[in-house]
A and B are shown apart, each in its own frame.
Chain A
Amino acid sequence: MNANSRREFFRALSASLGGALLTVGPLSLLSCSDSSTVPNAYSFYALRQGTGKLLFDQNPSALGAVTYADPERQPLHFIADPMLTNDGQVIFEAYDINGVLGLYSIQMSFAGRVPSAQSQRTIVRVGQMVDALTVDHIDGVDVSANGVLGLVLSVADDAGKVRHALYAERHGALTKIAVEGDPAEDGHVFSGIFHDVSIDDENALFVARYLHQSADVADQSPSLGLFVVPLDASALPRLLVQQGDLPLSAEYPLSGLGLIDLHGENYIAAGSVVIKNPGNSDPPSPDVREHIILLGTLDGRQPIVIAAGPLLKDVVDSSVHIGDQLSAPRIEDGTPVFSLLKDGNKHIFGSDGARASTTEKSPSGLTPVLLSPAVPAAGGSMFHLQTVVAGQSLDDGSDSKRELIHTDVSNVSTLLLTTGDQLVNDARKIWDISFGSFRRHVDIHRRLAALVLFNDPSVTPGAVYPAALIIGVPV
């Protein structure tokens, strides 16, 4: 595999990951805009300079083990786009100059004419001691609209044994939610593998493996469950959904749970069900899995299926969306959005059908080829990143670029930012955009946070690239 093909792959991967991976390669400048004007009444400001990295090829320590008197000024190496909360926190993951991964927060002020950074703090970093355990890795992050953090951390004890732990962070204090061996309600015990976490100001919702403490022989295998725990009470995590549940019917037990999102009393979750003997052949065919998306509430009622894979087409009712590659389920005010592939085209679906699609031209007139996960916002609007085909070969041989799109409740799309644009306070042209890697990138005022990468003609594979956290403010 040559470098270009691999970069192409990473680029595609990056797109499918919401532009989470900052890559280099053919994706490059398009001379569509030389002005510093910001389209569609959004002003974008560079907030924090740093670097982006090339996956696998880049060594963060190449920045040099330099001690900076002002930690807020030391170079950081961003690995994903930042989150933004209603209280003005910009939260992001980055490597420091010594190659140590950390989760940071910048407190913003929007009181002045232009947004400004007030202070930066470290939320947690690898090597830090938490509850007499050493943080080994930051495995998962979610933040509520008002700045409550949910963290899945790998922590190591004195003997070096690493285990997963689930923490919440409020007002600068880390509080353990669950760790391997902790009990849940009904005597279940967490076996030490925590998957996704979603958090709001009152509850943490998470997917974890656990062991049944039941005398029922049929239930002895480690299971996967969706748990909820209130943050302000001493109650044990409560099991909401588990493997073996029957969201469809007795023939299709739930077998897997993936990404989740919590908003108020509603949640959305990606899952899968087992289809036994598909086709009803004799002898029976091996079981297969098919993906579903569940919509549920915290009161413990059985969730409903709102999207399902093609093999379940004849099982679900007509209101269920059918598609493949169901992914990135998110919810806001009870309104879900999720991605799926249908008839070879990528779509972002909402309750009433497709809200964005590779079959529809972009507001720029170009054709999208990749859609990143959408970020739902208040009022039924959503933001997403897409990769479009420019229709012409660029200088580096590429013919595609990124576009940051806003779609209102009426499904009218607006282009906010694209490759080649410039920031208000930075003359460099934007080369790549990363947005949507997490759930919360847009605050209640529709300000948004993203990460951009700047092209540097002198770069060679393996080098680092200039990057900046940016804030977009409606004007």
Chain B
Amino acid sequence: MSKIVLGTPGSTSTSLDVCQGSFIMDPKVLGPFQTGFSFQMTLFDTEIEAAGISKMTAECDTELEIGMCGPSFAAYLQLELPAVTTDSTGPLKTMALHFDGTAGYKAGFFLGVTLSVGMSITLSTWEITLPECSVSPVHCHTEGVHCSHHHWHYHCDGPSTTCEGGDVHCTSGGARFAKVLAIEFDAVIDLIALMAEALNLKSITGSIDISSGAQVDLAAAAKGTKLKATFLCQIDMVKDVPELRAANEALKEMGGSLSMGPEFSITLQTTISLASFAVDGNRYNQLTWGSDAAGSLVQGTLDPAKQNSDTGFELAFRYDTSLIFSAGVFATVKAFKVLSIEGQFAIPVFSIGTDPGTLGISTSGRISSGQGADSSRAEGRCPGLLQLPEVIFHSPQVRLGSWPARPGWRSALHTISWPR
């Protein structure tokens, strides 16, 4: 079984945020304008054992970010300068041009909504020229012994063998290995305080994060799409619940105060990624995306047994969904400069998770070339048997579970014991 390894086994990078960047000038002079600069070095190794070629590439990226940052907003332009990857080993020639640009705007108002949108466009072209070589057949002939008699001796020539052909002819063909056009889209929407203001809550926040990558190459397809939405709110019930209000009043008598109420959180996360990919019967299974932060390592296996004359396309996706609902309370009790208790008490009430399921579409066809006994039927002119798309669906198993409550606060309140 051949092995394909694509990606970046190791890389170092620095994240960049305009709000953490360097001031271009004294902030008193230029206000909120800031800029940042980051440097990223990526080392990755691409190895295609099946083709007997290997490649080692070093890539240096520079990234420039400029923008302005205020207490509740940031507008920025982030540019990753074009980088050219070079170097090749073996009979492989490689050239890659990589451009990555990101532009976005983050804006927020402390009683409103924060919206952060970023779009990244990556265009990479990979031209890999594989030498196509052929060896011409060798044709040899042997000449027999040819003797001639001179007056006092014989002169013989031969036997001789003459070969023709056997030359190796290589052409620099233009086999394109991969071409990548990637567009990734990230959007984060924070719902902050607006609802809190409307509902008279102490604090409430939520976010929806959509991170999607769409690339036409194998590696990028495996990256998949992640969707994560979180929502959390804390409600100070002291003013609304008579018992809590009474407790707060009692604490006021002690110079203390109480903030207490429920908190809820919901996390919904779905990951859809490529499970397998097959073209012309060459199936790549067990595609996995690496655990590095950049998510840039993909590994799959190529099953040569599947190589046949089938022409088709098969795509199977793996998805993993989970929903976790937690509930709890938070509380703050304070009395003078002596006692302060602050705690959150969260219990995951239930979760619904799915074992990774698979959803795939497969289509394949067979085109007869007219070879063999039925050649007279000229099947080669017919489309042959075209299978209808097959939908593969593995029903997920739903997990429903709960966890025991956490044992509660360990706090200075334990210094006080209620009398029996």
Residues of chain A within 8 A of B252, CB atoms compared: 101, 137
Are B332 and A215 in touch, CB under 8 angstroms?
no
Q: Which of B114, B203, B206 has the most CB of A within 10 A?
A: B203
Are A189 and B116 in touch, CB under 8 angstroms?
no
A296 at the interface (CB under 8 A from B): no
Residues of chain B within 8 A of A287, CB atoms compared: 406
Besides A55-B250, A209-B202, A286-B404, 10 other CB < 8 A contacts?
A13-B416, A17-B339, A93-B255, A139-B257, A140-B257, A195-B342, A211-B193, A288-B410, A289-B410, A325-B414
Residues of chain A within 8 A of B203, CB atoms compared: 191-193, 209, 211, 222
How big is chain B's contact interface, by range?
35 or more
Residues of chain B within 8 A of A341, CB atoms compared: 415
In the A-B complex, the 6 residue pairs with the smallest Cβ-Cβ separation, listed nearest first, are A191-B203, A183-B71, A258-B340, A5-B419, A327-B412, A437-B336
Kindly identify which residue among A220, A324, A438 contacts B206, using a CB–CB cutoff of 8 Å.
A220
A192→B192 CA distance, assembly (Å)? 13
Give the total number of A-B pairs whose CB atoms are below 8 A apart: 190
Contact with A along B269-309 (1 / 0, CB 8 A): 00000000000000000000000000000000000000000
A251 at the interface (CB under 8 A from B): no
Q: How far is the CB of B295 from chain A (nearest CB, A)?
A: 15
Chain B contact residues, CB within 8 Å of chain A? 19, 69-74, 106, 108, 110-111, 114, 116, 188, 190, 192-193, 196, 200, 202-203, 205-207, 209, 228, 230, 232, 234, 236, 239, 250, 252-255, 257, 259, 265, 332, 334-344, 403-407, 409-412, 414-420
Q: Given A139-B334, A213-B114, answer yes or no on A195-B340 (Cβ-Cβ < 8 Å).
A: yes
A6→B344 CA distance, assembly (Å)? 29
A137→B248 CA distance, assembly (Å)? 11
Kindly identify which residue among A20, A220, A222, A288 contacts B234, using a CB–CB cutoff of 8 Å.
A222
Residues of chain A within 8 A of B239, CB atoms compared: 162
A290→B405 CA distance, assembly (Å)? 17
A211→B71 CA distance, assembly (Å)? 12
A191→B414 CA distance, assembly (Å)? 28
Residues of chain B within 8 A of A52, CB atoms compared: none
A295 at the interface (CB under 8 A from B): no
Interface size of A by CB at 8 A reads: 77
Q: How far is the CB of B8 from chain A (nearest CB, A)?
A: 22
Q: Which B-chain residue is minimally distant from A257 (CB atoms)?
A: B342
A191→B205 CA distance, assembly (Å)? 10
What are 26 sample pairs from A and B whose C-beta atoms fall under 8 A apart?
A56-B250, A93-B255, A101-B252, A137-B257, A161-B200, A181-B111, A187-B73, A187-B108, A195-B342, A207-B342, A211-B110, A213-B72, A217-B228, A220-B206, A257-B342, A258-B342, A272-B343, A272-B411, A286-B403, A289-B343, A291-B412, A327-B338, A328-B337, A328-B338, A373-B338, A439-B337
Question: Which of A252-268 touch B at CB < 8 Å?
Answer: 255-259, 261
Are A79 and B236 in touch, CB under 8 angstroms?
no
Q: Given A20-B338, A139-B334, A286-B406, answer yes or no on A9-B255 (Cβ-Cβ < 8 Å).
A: no
Q: Given A181-B110, A187-B72, answer yes or no on A80-B255 (Cβ-Cβ < 8 Å).
A: yes
Are A154 and B337 in touch, CB under 8 angstroms?
no
Are B338 and A436 in touch, CB under 8 angstroms?
yes
A56→B265 CA distance, assembly (Å)? 37
Are B257 and A154 in touch, CB under 8 angstroms?
yes
Are A256 and B343 in touch, CB under 8 angstroms?
yes
Q: How far is the CB of A3 from chain B (nearest CB, A)?
A: 11
A142→B334 CA distance, assembly (Å)? 13
Q: Given A17-B254, A56-B250, answer yes or no on A289-B409 (Cβ-Cβ < 8 Å).
A: yes
Q: Given A193-B259, A286-B404, answer yes or no on A211-B337 (Cβ-Cβ < 8 Å).
A: no
Q: How far is the CB of B306 from chain A (nearest CB, A)?
A: 39
Q: How far is the CB of A252 from chain B (nearest CB, A)?
A: 14
A21 at the interface (CB under 8 A from B): yes
Are B254 and A21 in touch, CB under 8 angstroms?
yes
Are B341 and A258 in touch, CB under 8 angstroms?
yes
Q: How far is the CB of A182 from chain B (nearest CB, A)?
A: 8
